[in-house]
Structure 1
């Protein structure tokens, strides 16, 4: 069996570095595209629901009804955008999307409140967006429940019952993301997703470019082995990818205010392993594709499933077991757990060894498959 020769490996590295310098568009993609995508998705991908547009039909104008409306507004979840009269006007606003919810206060609301009778209010919710609908419903129920309890306590105190203490209390403490901001959860995931897509697309063109430009013939007559060629081609891109990763890491930390709670050296080390994995995956794609267009199509065909299966958008625990198993063939699955663990929880390698091992096994597996796919000949 032929041994690995460093001279041949470094020759491929030097050749690829020269190629990268000449290919300015690809270099721009590697350096500028990650920042553009991070800014774009960093502001666009936001699951926090605030300022839900609410239209009010107050049929019982009084201090009591205005206080109820203020309680909705003071949560900063709801925003009153209009005061209407009649279901026709309300339904028109819900239909055209200018309002998400409608609060209807009946004519007998104030009278029943003065008599300490049970008063019903109505909330119409546009359920076309389940996320907004669930947020509106849960917050409205909480507001009405708290107001009902407060009014009941006030009534009992007037009757001489004294101060009413609840029989049970819940003390909560939110760890890792106390304000439960979606951006704190999304930015680490975006960094991993962006780096996967950019680096994989860059190397997906690598061997295909050799075929299209006719330089594959030069490689055929050389004694370069598949492993030397693979590693030689991805080595320069590891440096480019690591530089891009540091850029998006700085932007995510200082611009979006998502600090790294764990070890930065550990994060960088595991990021290099991830970059090598995605770069080798790009090389594998280039061994399958015959043209750069095919390489692009295969890369994008892999990107969408990786977004869905990795846990970037949806929690993997709620997925069927078979889908979770398929997610194990996506390196982003392991890297997202590593990123969020180091970013949010500040954990060390002792807590991340399973994901690190999984990503390392996938890296070795895809390297072997790419080597087997590669043939130093023109078909």
Structure 2
């Protein structure tokens, strides 16, 4: 082995990396990005869960109990409700994760030592269940002791506050993970397929043939997308069938809503992939850029880590990602039985994302070789 020739190859590779800005960005960006995400944005201790409170007692003691719960920082009032039925509607729509109910006979229950409050939890996320159970362990003050003659204690008596988990009372992880896997797999495959679509035409020499056709830019881009919509639906059917068969994952909502939500995510990811394809110079670059999109999607969307535990800046970034909105849709439809019309903000977010990405991709694409 000749050291001089070996050194020449090393220099050649280093110079090529220096010229390839995308590769250089991956080398430097991925370690920094992961460090910031895992060290700053990822937080397993949930705080500020959106909650609704129904205090039917309206006494000083009931208000003190509510203040004790809010002081834990686990929940944050976000919606008004007057009855437990309204709390259940808000839970189904995904507008709250926790509902606190204090009955009218709170004082009598407190004097008799019975359960004085109830916490309704969206159990489709097991992390939310665990966080909500902390509320049942709030320290008891003199105002909230079931027995006013007993000395103050920091441990509530058994049954003091009851936690009722809906949609996944068994706390099975598969119930939460399998619907999310539909979005993760569709994001990975759809973005990758279309990210290399235009680049592959250039590398195989087919771009000359496409340029010679009377196709407009819009027709070419939309034609590239449509076949992958069918592929995405096939993947959705496969994951759903295996999830129901192997893991007994429920589908409480309309099956049509499940596929409509899947189509919204598929089209959004395909539009994003086309935009990447117009910027990439090679299939390798397109794959690198796809990873740059897929990594924050899987980490910030709420699939792996609780969304409520992230700081506000990370949540703002996550709101731009299609997977974040799809997870809310698919879990709402499959696990809570909600309709898409009840989850309209996330539907509009996916439609808007698709429109913007497709418009920019068409504007960036040029039917020429240079």
TM range (shorter): 0.5 to 0.7
Match of 1:329 in 2: 320
Once the two structures are TM-superposed, the CA of residue 168 in structure 1 deviates from its matched residue by: 6.2
Match of 2:140 in 1: none
Compare 335-344 and 215-224 and name the one that shifted more.
Answer: 215-224
Specify the SS of the correspondent of 1:173: strand
**Is 1:207–2:198 an aligned residue pair?**
yes
Match of 2:287 in 1: 296
Once the two structures are TM-superposed, the CA of residue 316 in structure 1 deviates from its matched residue by: 2.0
Larger Rg: 1
Specify the SS of the correspondent of 1:174: strand
**Is 1:258–2:241 an aligned residue pair?**
no
1:249-305 Cα offsets, whole Å, 9 max, x none, are 111111111011111011111211211111121111111111111111111121111
**Is 1:276–2:267 an aligned residue pair?**
yes
Work out the CA distance in 2 between the residues paired with 1:320 and 1:167: 34
Of the three residues 348, 353, 358, the one matched with 1:357 is: 348
Specify the SS of the correspondent of 2:165: coil
Q: Would you say the 8 A contact 2:261–2:330 is kept in 1?
A: no
Count of residues in Structure 1 that have an aligned counterpart in Structure 2: 220
Specify the SS of the correspondent of 2:181: helix
Task: Quote the RMSD (CA, aligned, Å).
Answer: 2.3
Aligned pair in 2 of structure 1 residues 176, 370: CA closer, same or farther (>3 Å)?
A: same
Work out the CA distance in 2 between the residues paired with 1:219 and 1:269: 32
Match of 2:278 in 1: 287
Correspondences of 1:113-152 after superposition (within 5 Å):
none
Structure 1: give runs of 5+ residues left out of the alignment: 1-46, 48-134, 143-165
Specify the SS of the correspondent of 2:191: helix
Specify the SS of the correspondent of 1:270: helix
Once the two structures are TM-superposed, the CA of residue 374 in structure 1 deviates from its matched residue by: 0.5
1:131-153 Cα offsets, whole Å, 9 max, x none, are xxxx9xx9xxx9xxxxxxxxxxx
Match of 1:218 in 2: 209
Of the three residues 350, 360, 364, the one matched with 1:369 is: 360
Structure 2: give runs of 5+ residues left out of the alignment: 1-43, 45-129, 138-156
Work out the CA distance in 1 between the residues paired with 2:254 and 2:211: 45
Once the two structures are TM-superposed, the CA of residue 167 in structure 1 deviates from its matched residue by: 8.8
Q: Would you say the 8 A contact 2:195–2:287 is kept in 1?
A: yes
Q: Would you say the 8 A contact 2:329–2:340 is kept in 1?
A: no
Work out the CA distance in 2 between the residues paired with 1:207 and 1:350: 36
Work out the CA distance in 1 between the residues paired with 2:296 and 2:159: 46
1:42-93 Cα offsets, whole Å, 9 max, x none, are xxxxx9xxxxxxxxxxxxxxxxxxxxxxxxxxxxxxxxxxxxxxxxxxxxxx
Match of 2:30 in 1: none
